[in-house]
């Protein structure tokens, strides 16, 4: 299983990692936000490479700029790249490391909640290409992932909620006990001590699924819960609004819609749907969609890269902790789930 270190002193933990792996040079990749807000917590860890923040910069040009910086800085196969940032930095930095000189070692230090519980763990790296998200990439695990929840103090409330949606997903995949505990967490006034414990539990759920199926041939598809409808809502929103929707909001709504499908199709208890929906609507509101948008949303689901052929591939629950992958759902039921989501 991938090594994940939990610490409140990122500089000391990174220094231990560097001593252990003894690279000839250390490079730190950050974006302009994490350079300003987080880099000082690492002290002088290595030569800094800075890229633009946001998913819009997760491109081949940015990737090439990182390769160039590594090359000009004299990186060798024995160098180490430290990715300090959210999912965009760890995905792109991981891919830069996976490909530079056929692969150099890298360490992920996620600075967002979403990055900690999802992107930085599990070895998915890549960039957007040809208008599609994460279209080009590789499976390559970081040598270590360093989790320092001190970085969460730099996050605003919407980004905290965004990451929490993936934690809610992990709790649904894990057990009824973990799911109930996640619904009780006060997301409006978070206790960071409690959050730290929940983050560790959440990462452990993801790690154990990834360890069973690192290349997503089977059970790793469980991590797609909430994402088939969630990704469609995210792409639809981003095509119609200037400001991008935070990924976790789309996932939270996708979870509710897909729990609706499960309640109808797998006999998942309706109280799992009702309690999760109440939590999501209280903290994330509802998506601004109308029934005229259903065709477009369905079309986006048909293009999900996790599908095979023309079948939309859903992950459904039978019960928290009891997951069914590769499930087919009829269009009429999908429409009903969207009705439920927008309270129609």
Using CB under 6 A, list all residues that contact ligand GLY: 118, 122, 124, 220, 223
Query: Which residue in 41, 34, 44 sits closest to 112, CA to CA?
Result: 34
Nearest-approach distance from CB 324 to ligand GLY, in angstroms: 17
Helical residues (DSSP H) of 100-218, grouped into ranges = 113-114, 157-174, 176-184, 192-212
Minimum CB separation from ligand GLY for residue 332, in Å?
28
CB of 45 or CB of 121, closer to ligand GLY? 121
Task: Please give the Cα distance from 5 to 146 (Å, whole number).
Answer: 5
Please say which residue, 139 or 281, places its beta carbon nearer to ligand GLY: 139
Could you identify the residue written with the tokens 């690279």?
Answer: 23
Task: Classify residue 93 by its DSSP letter.
Answer: H
Taking the complex as a whole, how short is the minimal distance between the CB of residue 282 and ligand GLY, in angstroms? 25
Residues 226, 231, 233: CA angle, nearest 5 degrees: 100
For residues 35 and 166, which CB has a smaller minimum distance to ligand GLY in the complex?
A: 166
Q: b/e per residue, 191-211, with b = 16+ CB within 10 A?
A: eeeebbebbebbbebbbebbe
Closest contact distance (angstroms) between CB of 181 and ligand GLY is: 22
Q: What is d(CA 179, CA 173) in angstroms, rounded to the nearest whole number? A: 8
Burial status of residue 219 (CB atoms within 10 A of its CB: 0-12, 13-18, 19 or more):
middle
Residue nearest to ligand GLY (CB): 223
The answer to whether 305 and 291 have CB atoms below 8 angstroms apart is: no
State phi, psi for 167 to the nearest 5 degrees.
Answer: -70, -40
122 vs 190 by CB, closer to ligand GLY: 122
Token output for 108: 């992920």
Of residues 79 and 313, the one with the C-beta less far from ligand GLY? 313
Nearer to ligand GLY, 33 or 124 (CB): 124
- Asked if 25 and 76 touch (Cβ cutoff 8 Å), the reply is yes
Nearer to ligand GLY, 182 or 220 (CB): 220
Residue 124 C-beta: closest distance to ligand GLY, Å = 5
Question: Of the candidates 38, 37, 64, which has an alpha carbon nearest to the alpha carbon of residue 51?
Answer: 64
């Amino acid at each position: 299983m991938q090594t994940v270190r939990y610490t409140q002193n990122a500089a000391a933990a990174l220094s231990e990692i560097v001593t252990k792996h003894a690279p000839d040079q250390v490079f730190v990749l950050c974006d302009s936000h994490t350079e300003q807000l987080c880099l000082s917590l690492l002290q002088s860890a290595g030569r800094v490479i800075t890229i633009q923040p946001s998913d819009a910069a997760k491109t081949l040009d940015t990737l090439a700029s990182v390769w160039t910086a590594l090359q000009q800085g004299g990186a060798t196969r024995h160098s180490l790249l430290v990715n300090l940032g959210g999912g965009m930095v760890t995905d792109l930095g991981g891919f830069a490391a996976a490909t530079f000189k056929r692969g150099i070692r890298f360490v992920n230090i996620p600075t967002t909640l979403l990055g900690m519980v999802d992107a930085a763990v599990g070895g998915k790296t890549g960039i957007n290409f040809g208008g599609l998200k994460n279209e080009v990439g590789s499976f390559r695990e970081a040598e270590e992932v360093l989790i320092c929840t001190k970085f969460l103090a730099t996050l605003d409330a919407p980004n905290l909620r965004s990451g929490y949606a993936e934690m809610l997903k992990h709790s649904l995949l894990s057990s009824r006990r973990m799911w109930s505990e996640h619904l009780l967490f006060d997301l409006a006034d978070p206790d960071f001590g409690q959050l730290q414990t929940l983050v560790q539990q959440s990462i452990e759920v993801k790690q154990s699924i990834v360890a069973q199926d690192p290349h997503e041939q089977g059970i790793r598809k469980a991590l797609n819960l909430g994402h088939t409808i969630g990704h469609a809502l995210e792409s639809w929103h981003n095509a119609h609004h200037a400001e991008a929707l935070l990924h976790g909001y789309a996932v939270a709504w996708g979870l509710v819609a897909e729990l609706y499908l499960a309640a109808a199709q797998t006999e998942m208890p309706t109280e799992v749907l009702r309690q999760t929906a109440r939590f999501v609507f209280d903290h994330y509101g509802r998506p601004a969609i109308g029934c005229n948008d259903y065709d477009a949303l369905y079309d986006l689901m048909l293009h999900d890269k996790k599908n095979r052929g023309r079948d939309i591939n859903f992950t459904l629950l039978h019960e928290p902790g009891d997951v069914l992958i590769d499930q087919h759902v009829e269009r009429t039921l999908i429409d009903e789930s969207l009705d439920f989501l927008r309270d129609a």
